[in-house]
Structure 1
Amino acid sequence: MQIHPLITDSKTLSDFCARIAKSPYVAIDTEFMRENSYWPELCLIQVADAHEAAAIDPKAAGIDLQPLLDLMVDNEDVLKIFHAGGQDIEIVYNLTGKTPHPMFDTQIAAMALGLGEQIGYGNLVEAWLGVQLDKGARFTDWARRPLDKRQIDYAIGDVTYLIQIFPKMLEELRKTGRGDWLDQEMERISDPSHYETLPEDAWKRVRIASKKADVLGRLKALAAWREIEAQDKNLPRGRIVKDETLADIASHPPRTQDDLGKVRGLSATWRTNDIGARLMASLAKHQPLGKDEMPDREPRRPGLGKDGALVADLLKLLLKIRSRDINVASRLLARSDDIEALAAGVRNDLSILEGWRYEQYGRDAVDLVEGRLAFAVKGGRLKMTRTE
């Protein structure tokens, strides 16, 4: 494989993208920093096909990333391969408003092949290629320039090994007949709605004990205000106001800006500064949360109760047995909220009652709940047995 020098100009990048756009699949990875910012700071992009690989410097003066972005989000003929690509996809979405498609995530594929719940890249490379990665550059400050050869070599390894693993993994998925299992998961993680950051929805991420409409209305207003402040200042949300402080203000609103000085988690300067004034203005505009937005008293599905909780425990035990028997990560096979809903009597709109999940787990789960299946120990091994 040809490894190119670091790409820092538009012409070289455009030529590189034109060549790899003819490949059936490419591997993609990014290096970024986000500890001190709201938006992830893109610092390096690594791309490889079966013949060549390069790292691209998005911080290079005047470089035009459009050919690469077009390849990722508009070229349906090239499969984009990531490993644990959620944050990479988020970066692409922030730049384009679109997500890479079609795509393949090797971490999710590894779950279907029984390699654990969230296998790391280093372990994946060792398992499939027998190579132990040099982790010396793992904690690089990717925003600093210049990058040395060791750092660039380390970063390119994230795609040169990935491009070798993918065909091996694809062949194994075909042998086991599990390729179709992944389609739904790949579509889910490439859904653009997962990467939207709408200020009006920010309150849903903040934990608060109250379910009162006026308290939640204040929380919605405050969380939207904080989201806009964080975006405008490019600072982490918690650097503006921490979640627990936001919830405390929503539950016990200050009457005046001067009262902000008494709020735990805020500086006394908020009594008189502009950001304190903007917080108070957001509170003044709040409306009680509408009925259509109010969270259900129970988490959108019937409560379990004591007996239902025991049934859910049995279903989770069945999940462990089925995951062991077919050698697949339990997280890919079924999620806890679906299991608890099934135990509570729900039979509609559950992923475990559809497609391959129904064949591999859902049918037995329903039979267990409805008394047609029971646990048994045979030869010291826990198994399922049919009842009459």
Structure 2
Amino acid sequence: MTDAHETAADRSLRTTGGAPPDDAGSSVTQAPTPLLEPREGIPPVIADAGALAEVTAAFAAGTGPVAVDAERASGYRYGQRAYLVQLRRQGAGTALIDPVACPDLSGLGAALSGTEWVLHAATQDLPCLREIGMVPSTLFDTELAGRLAGFPRVGLGAMVENVLGFVLEKGHSAVDWSTRPLPEPWLRYAALDVELLVDLRDALEKELERQGKLEWARQEFDAIAAAPPAEPRKDPWRRTSGMHKVRRRRQLAVVRELWQTRDHVAQRRDVSPGKVLGDAAIVEAALAQPANTHALAALHGFGRVNRRQLDQWQAAVDRARSLTESQLPQPGQAVTGPPPPRAWADKDPAAAARLSAARAAVSALAEELAMPQENLITPDTVRRVCWQPPKESGAEAVTEALAAHGARPWQVELVTPLLVEALAAQPGEQQEAGPRAV
């Protein structure tokens, strides 16, 4: 269904005299308006092949960018799969699709090939969308656009309010989206999440262009769209909360066995691992290494566990206790990059001086450009270049090093002069970072 009335982006720009203010902090000069209902009402949930085919045809025939969002059941279900997919496009209206009933959306994804997808915090939703066959060729990330434009708050609700002048109700963001049937208030919330996404995109594009940052944003969006799926984490059990307390190898083995047992149970039951056994309980058991279920039951987190579950957890502890020295995990993870910066002064004072100079220069330029430092250049890239600088000095070598670490052309252009100067810094030099012309 086409939108005959004025768009929210047009309304925002009209009420603000054409653009957000220089600090991009709040572009709306009148009280925000609560957004209570989708323009065409709450659409029915697509849950069968016939309805999906109709929606696919409608969105293929639509015009302009397509707003895309996905809802997961983090904290309730195992993994990060999508439990609802929302789309909106000019000429097609809004669609709510149940990916449990329609697990293969590759046909819809193919129908939108070549169309710009508009997502908010795209890297959060792209993995679960990829699982059901939806992969964009081009995209516009409204959260990242907000960061580059200098907005202090870049959540969807804050951006819609500050840029477009509407208030989104965010009360259902953390509900269990695996619930069936989905309650009407949740569906209304889901539909409203894509209601103004394209309008937000249009306003942010104008603001980025005004600031001279639109090409930078396009390079960032292209990098997100082209990025391959993330590699599985190595030793994910090491990310257990509270691991800093676990120092002995035998204790590490207990954490590993309990974590892997919990993960197997959570996957089999399709529940969040935290609902099976908390991280705090795993760490406490690792520190105590109980000899039997009676001792295990006395630990925090195990007191209300039934006997069968106690036997299961105790068996994991016993497996860890029976391992030989050669089978025990090593403390820490294999270091593939520089050591922690706090250790640089002792290990390599020259590298510490380079890093100090680079950080000061990057911080000053990021402040001048009104964007977070990590969006100007990732801290990891700065650390790697400063720890192992190019063998050859000069801009060309630094440019090659930055590109090799994945920096985009716009980042390379801006940061190369800073690092060329920083790599010449010597221990004991006082680093000063002032405003710099771009």
Letter in 2 for 1:325: E
Aligned to 1:104: 140
Identity %: 18
Change (3 A) 1:48 1:352: closer
Contact 1:46–1:53 (8 Å) recurs in 2: no
CA distance in 1, matches of 2:366, 2:64: 32
Deviation at 1:202, TM superposition (A): 2.0
Q: TM-score, normalised by structure 1?
A: 0.75
User: Is the 1:222–1:282 Cα contact (8 Å) retained in structure 2?
Assistant: no
Query: 1:6 Cα shift?
Result: 1.8
Which consecutive residues of structure 1, in runs of 5 or more, have no partner in the other structure? none
| Change beyond 3 A, Cα 1:234–1:255 | same
User: Which of 96, 102, 110 pairs up with 1:64?
Assistant: 102
Q: Does 1:226 align with 2:262?
A: yes
State the Cα distance separating 1:231 from its structure 2 match: 1.6
Q: TM-score scaled to structure 2, two decimals?
A: 0.68
Which residue of 2 is the match for residue 337 of structure 1?
380
CA apart distance, 1:333: 1.3
1:383 pairs with 2:435: yes
Q: Secondary structure at the match of 1:383?
A: coil
2:335 paired residue among 296, 303, 317: 296
Q: Please point out which of 110, 133, 149 is paired with 2:167.
A: 133
Q: How far is the alpha carbon of 1:83 from its aligned partner?
A: 0.2
Native 8 Å contact 2:47 2:98 kept in 1: no
1:203 corresponds in structure 2 to 237
SS at match of 2:71: strand
* 2:199 paired residue among 154, 164, 182: 164
Cα deviation for residue 384 of structure 1 reads 5.3
Structure 1 residue 182 displacement after superposition: 0.5
Quote the offset at 1:82 in angstroms.
0.9
Letter of the structure 2 residue corresponding to residue 52 of structure 1 = A
Deviations 1:338-385 (A, max 9, x none): 3344444455577487633232124313412413998668xxxx3359
Cα distance change on mapping 1:126 and 1:264 into 2, 3 Å: closer
Q: CA deviation at 1:332?
A: 0.8
- Judged with a 3 Å threshold, the aligned counterparts in structure 2 of structure 1 residues 211 and 278 are, in CA distance, closer, same or farther, namely closer
CA apart distance, 1:58 = 1.7
Structure 1 vs Structure 2 CA RMSD: 4.1
Question: Please, which runs of 5 or more residues in structure 2 have no aligned partner?
Answer: 3-39, 391-400
Query: Are positions 1:6 and 2:38 aligned together?
Result: no
- Report the counterpart of residue 128 of structure 2 in structure 1: 91
Out of 26, 45, 54, which is 2:94 matched to?
54
**Preserved contact between residue 82 and residue 104 of structure 1 (Cα < 8 Å):** yes
Give the stretch that moved more between structures: 267-276 or 178-187: 267-276
Aligned-pair distance for 1:162? 0.9
Q: 1:17 aligns with which of 37, 56, 66?
A: 56
Note closer, same or farther for the CA distance 1:362–1:205 as it changes in structure 2 (3 Å cut). Answer: farther
The correspondence of residues 172-321 of structure 1 with structure 2, limited to 5 A, is 173=208, 176=212, 177-183=215-221, 185-187=223-225, 191-193=228-230, 196=232, 201-206=235-240, 207-208=243-244, 215-267=251-303, 269=305, 273-280=310-317, 282-283=319-320, 284=322, 287-289=327-329, 294-296=333-335, 303-305=343-345, 312-321=355-364
Q: 1:9 to 1:180 in 2, by over 3 A?
A: closer
TM-fit CA distance, 1:81: 2.0
Q: How many residue pairs were aligned? A: 369
Q: How big is the shift at 1:252? A: 4.9
Shift of 1:178: 1.7
Corresponding position of 1:113? 149
Indicate which of 115, 118, 138 corresponds to 1:81.
118
